[in-house]
Amino acid sequence: MRRKGLASMAVQAVESSTTSAGSADSSGSTGSSVSLGPAVALSCRECGERFPLGPIFACVECFGPLEVAYDLPTGDPEALRKRIEAGPNNIWRYAPLLPVPADVADKPNINPGFTKLVKADNLARELGVTGELYIKDDSGNPTHSFKDRVVAQAVEAARAFGFTTLSCSSTGNLAGAVGAAAARAGLRSCTFIPHDLEQGKVVMAAVYGGDLVAIEGTYDDVNRFCSELIGDPAGEGWGFVNVNLRPYYAEGSKTLAYEICEQLGWRLPDQLVIPIASGSQLTKIDKGLKELIALGLVEDRPYKIFGAQAEGCSPVSTAFKAGHDVVRPQKPNTIAKSLAIGNPADGPYVLDIARRTGGAVEDVNDEQVVAAIKLLARTEGIFAETAGGVTLGVTQKLLENGVLDPALTTVVLNTGDGLKTLDAVAPTSGPTAVIRPSLDAFREAGLA
């Protein structure tokens, strides 16, 4: 009943916000005051019911999650490729495929994206990979995580719907991205985090000058609180990027799929290994790949998607291995706090995608996470946060178990910067030696 109430409140908010702009037409699109490019409606992922564009996140018919439906460009794929390639070196090069206004690149935004796709030959040799191995390194975004992509999308939706405060529930990276994006856009921010996050993420989220509220409990406790706030008068005028703006926010993850394929010369990778927190990133990468195929921008051929979790918070991996369709919530206990979501909203959809594509969902323990972080740093000079350690650790485990094909083109995602999670590697990372300032001391330490 509570979920139905939240969905109803969201719909009422949309109806009141669009009254003056005109009602939805028969296709489900809204009046001219909401301009989000090719986006025409919100569609329920479960029952297919359509709703006007607005700050609504759940279907009032079946309570399923909503996602953006489009009228995407048609015609010559080569012309669309050239249009994209001529665009800015950020996610707005893909504006024709995203729920954003046509002039999005001219607005104050943090402009994330087009991060490096690193060909990881040294790592490949270490792991016994004979095909092409790539690291999609999203630590190069403005606040050093992939969350900048999804928040940039949410900011445009917040502008369209007249919100004055940007908010979120966060395991750390999202709070920093919201703080930075709100500051750039001239909006107030108020973000909510668990009380026991890594200090680096707390500082980064706080430095942008918005309100940062630590809540005693897990991320799932924080998320429940935000769901209550959104239905309270205290939350009026607030855009919660991962609640009432979630359908638009989530679309930012598609840009990872777009970039990977463009950077591979407009071709699909054979295998992708993607971290799972809520599961939204993985599902939207799959959506992006399918869109590229439908538009004729890449050749239609099979690809496999693999999900990665930490053993201390592995509800999706546990369900996958048991052959279940339902994901049972867990209480997180892992150093990979950015993935510590015990009740992932998109968990069932992750299971569907892994099974449909012939992939899998696997997990690794904290020791394997640390070892993978150090392996990537040692072989490719990329310092990943703990989520990246999870993804590479799972990649290594899947190769050892014969699940990943070492001869195929594989892309592994690193979604954040290791400087945010120093505590994970600090106990085993330090000076090789401490010596006196003399050549004799240098030689005595065995370094010559």
Residue 239 has pLDDT above 70, yes or no: yes
Residue type, 309: Q
Residue 299 has pLDDT above 70, yes or no: yes
Rounded (10°) CA dihedral 88, 91, 92, 97: 130
* C-alpha to C-alpha distance for 111 and 179, rounded to whole angstroms: 14
Q: Say if CB 280 and CB 57 are below 8 A apart.
A: no
Q: What is the band of 333 on the pLDDT scale with cuts at 50, 70, 90?
A: very high
pLDDT digits over 127-166, tens only?
999 999 999 999 999 999 999 999 999 999 999 999 999 9
DSSP secondary-structure letter at 55?
A: S
Quote the tokens at residue 67.
């996602």
* C-alpha to C-alpha distance for 33 and 60, rounded to whole angstroms: 24
What pairs with residue 165 in β-bridges? Answer: 188, 238
Q: What is the mean pLDDT of residues 86-95?
A: 97
If you write DSSP's letter for every residue of 384-447 in order, what string do you get?
Answer: B-HHHHHHHHHHHHHHHTT-S-TTS-EEEEE-BBGGGGHHHHGGG---S----SSHHHHHHTT-
pTM of the entire structure? 0.92
* C-alpha to C-alpha distance for 329 and 370, rounded to whole angstroms: 25
C-alpha distances (whole Å) from 367 to each of 120, 415, 440 are 23, 19, 37
Quote the tokens at residue 24.
């939805």
H or E segment to which residue 114 belongs: none
Quick one: pLDDT at residue 34?
A: 83
DSSP secondary-structure letter at 360?
A: -
Q: What is the mean pLDDT of residues 232-244?
A: 92
H or E segment to which residue 54 belongs: none
pLDDT digits over 373-414, tens only?
999 999 999 999 999 999 999 999 999 999 999 999 999 999
Quick one: pLDDT at residue 33?
A: 63
Percentage above 70 pLDDT, the chain: 93
pLDDT digits over 7-50, tens only?
444 444 444 444 333 333 333 333 346 889 999 999 999 999 99
Least confident residue range of 88-102, 110-124, 201-215, 220-234 = 220-234
* C-alpha to C-alpha distance for 249 and 237, rounded to whole angstroms: 17
Rounded (10°) CA dihedral 90, 93, 94, 95: 100
* C-alpha to C-alpha distance for 215 and 220, rounded to whole angstroms: 11
More confident residue, 227 or 32: 227
* C-alpha to C-alpha distance for 131 and 136, rounded to whole angstroms: 16
Q: What is the band of 446 on the pLDDT scale with cuts at 50, 70, 90?
A: very high
* C-alpha to C-alpha distance for 103 and 206, rounded to whole angstroms: 30
Quote the tokens at residue 355.
């099974």
pLDDT digits over 243-293, tens only?
999 999 999 999 999 999 999 999 999 999 999 999 999 999 999 999 999
